[in-house]
Amino acid sequence: MIINSKTKIVGILGYPVEHSLSPAIFNYVFEKLNLNWCYLPFPFPSTHKISYFLECFKELNFVGLNVTMPYKEVVVPFLDEVSAFARIAEAVNVIHLQDGALIGYNTDGRGFIDSLKEVGVRAEGKTVMVLGAGGAARAVVLSLAMEGAKRIVLANRTRERGEKLAAVLRSRFPKVEALVVDLSAEAKPYLAEADILVNATPVGMDGISKPLDEEVLTALPASSLVYDMIYSPLETPLLKWAKDTGRKSLNGLPMLLLQAQGSFQVWEGSEIELKLLREAAEAALKGI
């Protein structure tokens, strides 16, 4: 890859970002497609200086950004425009600098729903328990409601944040039953009725922890799907538990690739083939 004055710069804003596969995936794709683009990690530690970061990004005339933890919600007030879905979700995972304006989008929700469809699962009529109420959870929960989920149970560490998300759900999607429970034994009876369990917290990225105790998890029906949005590691302790107990499981990699496809669509208006994105992810995971 030759970097010159015409190279289009995109990247990922978050803190930390070492765990992200996106730089390796995108740079692999750019090289294969012979595009003069470069994808950089932007680990930015100072939440209170995020407007300064975005102003500099604008001045440098870069093309766009992916946004990850903990900035998906933080960046929203500092953007010039925000897509309708990202505004409702109050979370942005893609930014495009277009004609001097920073425009925010959210491709997480679509990526999540499409990854479910890839394994033949539809959200319509389903009961889903979602752990977490951060940027990713918000997009996922709204997309589930848009797809006609019957009941969404929100379990978050801070109950207040869960209640806030439930209130958005109830006002926008009155047909969907939205409930909030504690991330504890209180979740058990609701888990017993869940068709899908989604982990949208970072718990499990350490390769050791599970977001719910095994004693609580056992309530989950044997036919349910366990979806962990984490992709590093590919098999979290929660997914290992699901596999060991004969439940269906899905990690966050398909969603990552689908939201990456959506991001490039926003920046360039054209599609990267999923086959190439998968090949890039395989290479990134092998450290090539």
Bridge partners (DSSP) listed for residue 10: 39, 64
CB 70 within 8 A of CB 41: no
Rg (CA), the chain: 19
- The correct pick among 50, 69, 274, 276 for binding ligand NAD (CB under 6 A) is 69
* Distance separating alpha carbons of residues 197 and 241, to the nearest angstrom: 13
H/E element, 138: helix 135-146
Scan residues 159-178 and list those touching ligand NAD (CB under 6 A). 161
Task: State which of residues 40, 179, 205, 283 lies at the interface with ligand NAD (CB under 6 A).
Answer: 205
Closer CB to ligand NAD, 6 or 23, in the complex:
23
Question: Using CB under 6 A as the criterion, what x/- string covers residues 227-246 for binding ligand NAD?
Answer: --xxx---------------
Question: 6 near 35, Cβ under 8 Å?
Answer: no
Q: Which is nearer to ligand NAD, 136 or 191 (CB)?
A: 136
Write down the least CB distance from residue 138 to ligand NAD, Å. 8
Select the residue whose beta carbon is closest to ligand NAD and give its number: 134
When asked if residue 41 is in the footprint of ligand NAD (CB under 6 A), the reply is no
- Name the one residue in this structure whose structure tokens are 């990922």: 12
- Please tell me whether residue 22 binds ligand NAD under the rule CB under 6 A: no
Q: Is 150 a catalytic residue?
A: no
CB of 86 to ligand NAD, least distance (A): 13
Region of 63-71, 81-89, 164-172, 280-288 interacting with ligand NAD (CB under 6 A): 63-71
Sign of CA dihedral 273, 279, 281, 284: negative
Amino acid at 41: P
Q: How far is it, in rounded angstroms, from Cα 17 to Cα 71?
A: 11
Tokens linked to 196: 């899908």
Contact 196, 227 (CB under 8 A): yes
3-state secondary structure of 178: strand
Residues 85-144 contacting ligand NAD, CB under 6 A: 108, 111, 132-137
- The one catalytic residue among 32, 58, 72, 210: 72
> Site residues (CB under 6 A) for ligand NAD?
68-70, 72, 108, 111, 132-137, 156-158, 161, 183, 200-203, 205, 229-231, 252, 255-256, 259
